[in-house]
Structure 1
Amino acid sequence: MTRTVALHHQLGGPEQGVPLVVLHGLFGSADNWRSHARQWQAQRRVVVVDLRNHGRSPHAATMNYAVMAEDVVALLDQLGIERCDLLGHSMGGKVALSVARLYPQRLASLIVADIAPVAYDHGHETIFGAMRQVERDAPESRKQADSAMAAHVETPAIRRFLATNLERGDDGIMRWRVGLDEIEAAYADIAAEPAGEGSYSGPTLVVRGSRSDYVEDALLPQVKAVLPAAQVVTLEAGHWLHAEAPKAFHEAVDTFLAERGHEEN
């Protein structure tokens, strides 16, 4: 019995060259990356993925990073992609790190957005509380869902981000499309270190937010131990740096990919 699930994905752009594959973070989806994908697709093939229990991908009980890395490699096989530039944000960054450690031959380069290859001890209790409140309230509009979340999450931007996971059922009730039960049950695996051992020595970009506590200076030695070739770029942003500083984020990625392409030629 296979451990992988067939990941939903969005694909576009010219087929020549090395494809860019994008992995979202916890409670994100491929939809959150549409504006970035449109820009990259002008130059290259871009695959934006819904990881398991997210977006339009299937739900599954297991969420350790070895299995999620297998999902991604299975998708690469399905699409006939031998090597790719792999970009991952937050949880997706840990999935990307796991692919780099377990299947380094599948990567031309690695881009990790605001996550370090370590276990984190801070949780998402308020997020789970907000989402469970929506389930209990059974809202019939996004405004009602936002009011339900506001009792647990003060920041409107975070509530708007979570609301991208809402969809209306045939009965008019707004419900979560993410596998919330599976995510909450597997949260210890999500907070854990990436899968695999040792380092990935290929070309790597680590982009971090200056107002984020996910890749603080104290963690840089651990980043360098796992990613010895990493360039580290700091943007004036928080954890959702691709949304908070989209132009600067895009420029950092484009510069890195252009330099890597130049070195290969």
Structure 2
Amino acid sequence: MLLNFTQTGSGAHVILIHGLFGSLDNLNIVAKALAEHFTVTNVDLRNHGSSFHDAVMDYPTMASDVIALMDHLKIEQAHIVGHSMGGKVAMQMAMLAEQKVARLAILDIAPVAYHSRHDSIIAGLKAVADALAHKKIQNRNEADKIMAQYIEELGVRQFLLKSLAKNEQSELAWRFNLPAICENYSKITANINATHSCLCDTLFIKGNNSDYILPEHKDAITQCFSNAKAKVIHGAGHWLHAEKPQSVNRSIIDFLQL
């Protein structure tokens, strides 16, 4: 099965990969800017957006999905841009098929294992799913009231609620495969399968208010990507591309056009 995708622009190929609980819509602001210079393929990862649902979900498998889409689209090589979980998928692609990767731009994630950061989010998502199953809510506003009991940040709730939509039965449901994500969560927070040091030019872009990339991660980064460099976006956190889109987009474009 192939991933759902959109394709815009013209020129050298760039593939965009979103993060956990997201969809290709999350990176549209990046896609629009890049499409002025490149052919941009924006993907929904498995168990997300409009892509297929499957019980298996780990980085080698998700990376292989994107590589299979490249093969289907006859893209021999592309720049890969990934945010958060999508950044790890991008890094895993370089480990599996380095010859297909021109340059890597990784948004606010490192090749390390992370502790659980989504306990309250998952609890809120499950509470909404339970309310939907018992037909206790009928719209996003009612879902938001439930989620607010678990997730304080309005922006996080608004991001998640973008994935609450009518399904084929015209019933409100999460577009992402919540059971599969929960079952595989330990594999999502785990590190990539780092088999060697990749030589492709790599840029790690960090929001200075985020703790996803820390000084102690430098060794892990350079061991996996010997030609890596870093860029810090000031005034931004983990959602740097949404908070500082012009700075992030310019950083990506300048790097890919070197």
Q: Would the TM-score normalized by the shorter structure come out above 0.5?
A: yes
Q: For residues 103-114 of structure 1, what are the structure 2 equivalents within 5 Å?
A: 103-114=97-108
Q: Note the C-alpha offset of 1:65.
A: 0.8
Q: Give how far 1:101 is off.
A: 0.9
Q: 1:224 to 1:196 in 2, by over 3 A?
A: closer
| Whole-angstrom distance in 2 between the partners of 1:170 and 1:25 | 24
Give TM-score scaled by structure 2 length.
0.94
Partner of 2:257, secondary structure, is helix
Aligned to 1:263: none
Q: Does 1:11 align with 2:7?
A: yes
Q: Name the counterpart of 1:65.
A: 59
1:86 touches 1:111 (CA, 8 Å); kept in 2? yes
Give, as a single letter, the amino acid of the residue that structure 1 aligns with 2:41: V
Q: Any stretches of 5+ residues in structure 2 without a counterpart?
A: none
1:211-230 correspondence to structure 2 within 5 Å: 211-230=209-228
**3-state SS of the aligned residue for 2:82?**
strand
User: Residues of 2 paired with 1:171 and 1:7: CA distance?
Assistant: 22
Quote the offset at 1:12 in angstroms: 1.1
Q: Displacement, 1:221?
A: 1.8
The amino acid of 1:48's aligned partner reads N
The answer as to whether partners of 1:66 and 1:196 remain within 8 angstroms in 2 is: no
Question: After the TM superposition, which residues 155-166 of structure 1 pair with which residues of structure 2 at under 5 Å, given as runs?
Answer: 155-166=153-164
Amino acid at match of 1:255: D
Kindly provide the amino acid, as one letter, of the partner of residue 7 in structure 2: L
* One-letter amino acid matched to 1:49: V
Give me the identity figure in percent: 37
Q: SS at the partner of 1:21? A: strand
Find the counterpart in structure 2 of residue 207 from structure 1: 205
Q: What is the Cα deviation at residue 170 of structure 1?
A: 7.0
Work out the number of aligned pairs and report it.
253
Q: Return the match for 2:179 from 173, 178, 181.
A: 181
Corresponding residue number in structure 1 for 2:74:
80
* Alpha-carbon contact 1:141-1:173 (below 8 Å) kept: no
Mark the runs of 5 or more structure 1 residues left unpaired by the alignment: 260-265
Structure 2 counterpart SS, 1:204: strand
In the TM superposition, what are the counterparts of 1:2-41 in structure 2 within 5 Å?
5-14=1-10, 16=11, 18-41=12-35
What residue number does 2:249 align with? 250
CA RMSD of aligned residues (A): 1.3
Q: Secondary structure at the match of 1:20?
A: strand
Q: Distance in 2 between matches of 1:196 and 1:62?
A: 19
Matched AA of 2:174: W
Residues 145 and 174 of structure 1 are in contact (CA less than 8 Å); yes or no, is this contact kept in structure 2? no
Does 1:92 pair with 2:86? Answer: yes
Change (3 A) 1:22 1:132: same
What's the counterpart of residue 238 of structure 1?
A: 237
Contact 1:24/1:50 (8 A) holds in 2 = yes
Q: Look up the SS of the partner of 1:12 in the other structure.
A: strand
TM norm structure 1 = 0.92
Partner of 2:189: 191
